[in-house]
Amino acid sequence: MCYSYQGQIGVDQAFDTSLLAIGKFSLPAFDVCMEAENSSQGARLVLTRCAEQNLQKFDLNSAIEIRLVVNNELFLAVYDGKSKEGGGGTPVHFMRRLKLENCATTKEKYKHWRISN
């Protein structure tokens, strides 16, 4: 899900791919999981302690979209707005916020994901 300017994914960007099959996006180095603030369009994504919470359950589907299980009309999208320059690396990379958006109305380039091991 993240850009690697170091030649490998850093621990602050490495989700546990073995948990994706059960809908959990976990960063094991920090014992946190991705969670939606709520189940409404425009909700931001945060990292919080892993738990069996509905707002932490996502589905990576065959269309390479990450949908919120409790509201499958919403999926993870890159915010189509201001970006922030990253903290280092060559070439310079940019950071953008993630949020939940309506699947039908969001541009393709903001809603597709690739998982690498």
Q: Are 25 and 15 in contact (CB under 8 A)?
A: yes
| Structural domain contains residue 12 | no
Mean pLDDT computed over every residue of the chain? 81
How far apart are the two ends of the chain, measured CA to CA in Å? 11
Residue of 51, 38, 23 whose CA lies nearest to 100:
38
Grouping H, G, I as helix, E, B as strand and the rest as coil, residue 98 is strand
User: Which residue has better confidence, 93 or 1?
Assistant: 93
- Domain assignment of residue 67, given as a range: 17-110
Supply the pLDDT for residue 21.
Answer: 85
The answer to whether position 64 is within a domain reads yes
- Residue 6 gets which letter from DSSP? S
Domain count, the chain: 1
CATH of the domain at 66: 2.80.10.50
